[in-house]
Each structure stands twice: as C-alpha cells, then as structure tokens.
A and B are shown apart, each in its own frame.
Chain A
Amino acid sequence: MRMAVMQEGTDLCGRVDKAAAVRRAAAGDREAFEELMDAYHRRIFAMVYSRITSRMDAEDITQEIFVRAFQGVRSLRDPELFKPWLYRIALNAINDFLRKKRLRSIFTLFTREWDDSEVPDPIRGGSDYLERKEFWTRLNEFFSRLSPSEREVFRLKFLDGLCIREIAEVMEKNESTIKTHLYRAVEKFRRESDLSGFLKEEKA
C-alpha cells in the first residue's frame, strides 16, 4: 500500500502540504503542531460533524483527536502521511464515540438522530437550523442505504475531499478495493432520484 516517492512538500495527491511543519512537530516542536492544528481544525471538525450531526459532541471529539495526534506525532515517520494519519485518528475517535453512544442508548428509552440541543444561529435565524437539519436527515437517509465501507469511502471522497490514495491510507485498504466501494456508492447516488431532486431544489 506504500505510495510512490512524493515530491518534497506535497501530500499523497500531489497538493502542496505542510511537510516542514510536520517534521518539526514530529521532532517535538509544539508551535509547529499548533500550526498544523490551525490548518486542519476546521476540516476535522467538519468531518466529525458530518458523521454525528451534533456540534457539542463534534467539538469534544475534535479536541480529543488533536490531543491523540499531539501525543503520537513523534512516532510519525513520513511527513506526507500526516493528513491520512490524522484522518485515521479522527475516524477511530468517531467510531469510539458511536460505540459508546450505542452502549449508552441501552440505558435510555430512545436515542435522537439529530441533536436538538443545538442552538439555532441567532444571526441567520431558525430557518438556517431547520435547513441544516433537513439536509443532514436526507443525506443520512441516503447513507443508510449504503454498506458501511461504501458510506465511509463516499464521505471521505465527496464530503472530506480526500483522494483515492489518501482514502486507502486512512482505511488501510488497497486502492482497487477503495475504487470498488466508491464505484458502488456513486452508482447508488446516481439512482437516488430523491436525493438528486433535493439537491436540485436546494440549488434553485
């Protein structure tokens, strides 16, 4: 699964990356890690939020992800692997959270798919909150019709913007397996007239 030699300062997909900062962070430079944290904070938060749709929990999990990354960055050997490594930590943290949530749900009468405790944005108003709720509910309905691997690969590609090689690293699978899952997921997306219609409505 190891990729070809990368150009200096680029990530697995050939995009310019913060390789120098990763090297310094791996050598124990706290400021370098904070620089990386600033660069990835919003993306990691968005990744977590898209999977659990709860702002408060997403904030907590994002905090935990960066603490885990900070504690383990010294063991990272290839700077190009920082991004998929960070996303793998994030994915594991999300899965840990969902496992605990399932365990907690045994002791409660019902669980909420949507976090009702989230406060609507006072500037953009309640309609923004309702639109957001509607969007994620529709998207999660579509995801429920995909297998777990198809769902994860689809999210990493089209929501998180990772390339095939990065996804393969995050999920620790070979690229052809990733492409197979992605192919099936895209085929299902194409057939989902409900979701396509919803996207057109939103566009209009």
Chain B
Amino acid sequence: MSEDRKPGCSIARVIRYVVDENDLDPEQRRHLRECPVCREELKQLDGGLRRLGHMAAEHTPEPVRRPVLPVEGRELPHRPVLLWRLAWGTGLGFALVMLIAVWTVFQSSISPVSYQDIAQEMAEDEMLLAEVLALEENPLPDAYREISPEETAGIDEEIFDFIVPVEGWNMDQESRTKEA
C-alpha cells in the first residue's frame, strides 16, 4: 500500500467504501474517484477481496447429491448415522468414566492393607535369605559346629586321627606286615 498520501487521503475512507459505498457522501466519493493514491488503495483492497471470493468458489467442490425432501405426513429421520455415532460416543465415555471411578474406589480401599502385606513379606524374605546364607556358610547343626573344620581350624590332623582312627589306615598297616 502506498505511504505517499495526500492531505485529503484516508485509508479508513477506502475501507468504508469497500464495506458500503453508500456510507460516503458525494464529495468523499468524488475524492476516491479522482485521487490516484486513494484509487490505487481501493483497487488493491477491492481486487484482493474479489479475488478471495472467486478463489473460494473455485476451491469448492460441486455437490454430488441433490437434497431429498420428505414425503408429506412422514417425518424424515434426522441424520441417523450422526446420532448413532453420538450415542455410541456418549455411552463409551460414560463407561470409561465409570471404570475410572470404580478403579479409583477399589484402589483406595485396598491400598493400606496391601502395602503392609508387601512390607511384611519383604521382611520375611530378608530373614529367610539370611538363614539360607548362614546355612551356606556352615550347614551343620549347632551341636556339631565345634568339631567342624571351620570351627577347629589350626588343630593338628594327627589329633583327629588319634581320636577317630581311619579304617583304611589300619588295613594298610596289616597288609604291609603280611608282606614283610
């Protein structure tokens, strides 16, 4: 748009003319006709709007179906497909809301008990695991612990042989005696 305006020029007047040319008095209309700046402004704006209208018409497809009028005395169902879709959508939405509500109530009612149970179960598991680890270290009952190798580490093997003689050792001695 031109910025080189004459004193009598006004873009507001151009817009008013585009909106309704009868709004301008004859003197203002004469100015729009004769002033080259205003005439150019008007040409641009009016041309743009007309072009828009033509393009809108060009970019609109042709209707395929001719409307069908209802038979006298019989009411035509109003867009049953749309209504069915709406009914399904509403029903589905309602079911979803109910599901969420029920799930929330159920969750809130079982939550405290459930968390306690889980905590207790975890504590029991830990105790059991500790017991298993202790048995892995030494599976003997307490009464035998004192004579187990771990407990008696450092004691000479001969003392054990003396306390509990090995049968194989005696047989070996006897066979050597016979050979001799």
A residues at B contact (CB < 8 Å): 30, 33-34, 37, 41-42, 45-46, 49-50, 55, 58-60, 62-67, 70-71, 100, 103-104, 106-107, 118, 121, 131-132, 135-136, 139, 158-159, 161, 164, 179, 182-183, 186-187, 189-190, 196, 199, 202-203
Contact = CB atoms under 8 A, between A and B. Distances in A.
Q: From B63, B64, B65, B76, name the one whose CB has the most chain A CB atoms within 10 angstroms.
A: B63
Given A60-B79, A190-B45, A199-B55, A45 B89 contact: no
Given A67-B76, A159-B52, A187-B15, 15 more contacts: A42-B63, A63-B67, A66-B69, A67-B69, A67-B78, A104-B86, A106-B93, A107-B90, A121-B61, A158-B52, A158-B53, A179-B19, A183-B16, A186-B15, A190-B1
Q: From A42, A66, A107, A196, name the one whose CB has the most chain B CB atoms within 10 angstroms.
A: A107
B59 A135 contact: yes
B68 interface: yes
Contact of A104 (B18, B64, B79, B85): B85
B11 to A, nearest CB: 8
Interface in B1-41: 1, 11, 15-16, 18-20, 23
A20 B45 CA distance: 38
A42 B89 contact: no
B67 A66 contact: yes
Nearest to B46: A186
A37 B68 CA distance: 10
A41 B63 contact: yes
10 contacts: A45-B63, A65-B67, A67-B76, A121-B61, A135-B59, A139-B56, A158-B52, A189-B49, A199-B48, A203-B51
B154 interface: no
A62 B48 contact: no
A183 B59 contact: no
A33 B63 CA distance: 19
Contact of B86 (A33, A64, A103): A103
B70 interface: yes
A65 to B, nearest CB: 8
Contacts of B15: 183, 186-187, 190
B150 interface: no
A53 to B, nearest CB: 9
Interface of B: 1, 11, 15-16, 18-20, 23, 45, 48-49, 51-53, 55-57, 59-70, 72, 76, 78-79, 82, 85-86, 89-90, 92-93
A41 B67 CA distance: 8
**Main DSSP-derived SS at the B contact region:** helix
Contacts of B59: 131-132, 135-136
B64 A59 contact: yes
A30 B70 CA distance: 10
A46 B60 contact: yes
A174 B1 CA distance: 32
A146 to B, nearest CB: 13
Contacts of B67: 37, 41, 62-63, 65-67
A104 B86 CA distance: 7
Contacts of A49: 60-61
Contacts of B68: 63
A164 B60 CA distance: 24
A158 B52 CA distance: 8
Q: From B61, B78, B90, name the one whose CB has the most chain A CB atoms within 10 angstroms.
A: B61
A118 B20 CA distance: 38
